[in-house]
Amino acid sequence: MSFRKEKLASLLSRIIPEFIFSHLRYEDARVTVTRIDLSSNFQKAVIFVTIDPKDKSEEALNELKKILSSLRKEVGKNLSMKFLPMFEFEIDAEEEHRMHIEALIEKIKKEK
C-alpha cells in the first residue's frame, strides 16, 4: 500500500467512526466500523461495519445510508483533497466469521 493511501485510510479510520457515533440517530443497534478499504484510484471507499444485534442490520444500514452525504461533507472539511471518494457501507462478513470461530474455540475450551 502506498504511503498516501495508508495515510488517507488512517485519517478516514479516525474521522468516520467519530462522525457515525455523533450523527447516527439509530439507537436499536450498535454500529462498529471494522475497516475501510480504499480503491487504488481513491474514488471509492468501502466502510465495513458490524451491527449488533444482527437482526437490526438492514435497518441500521438504511440509517447509515441516510447520513452518507453529510459524512462526505465532513470528510471534505477535514481533508484537503481535490476529489473525495464515494463512500459505501457494507456488513463485514470477515469479522462475523472471525467472531464465530472464536465462539467455537471458546465452546471447545469449556467442554474440556
* Tens-place pLDDT, residues 3-57: 888 888 889 999 999 999 999 888 888 899 999 999 989 899 999 999 988 888 8
- In the block, cell 479516525 appears at 14
Architecture category of domain 3-111 in CATH = 2-Layer Sandwich (3.30)
Predicted pLDDT of residue 94: 84
pTM summary value:
0.81
- Sorted by where each begins, the domain ranges of the chain are 3-111
Q: pLDDT digits over 48-96, tens only?
A: 999 988 888 899 999 999 999 999 999 999 888 888 899 999 999 887 7
The one-letter amino acid code at 87 reads F
CA angle 37, 76, 10 (to 5 degrees): 35
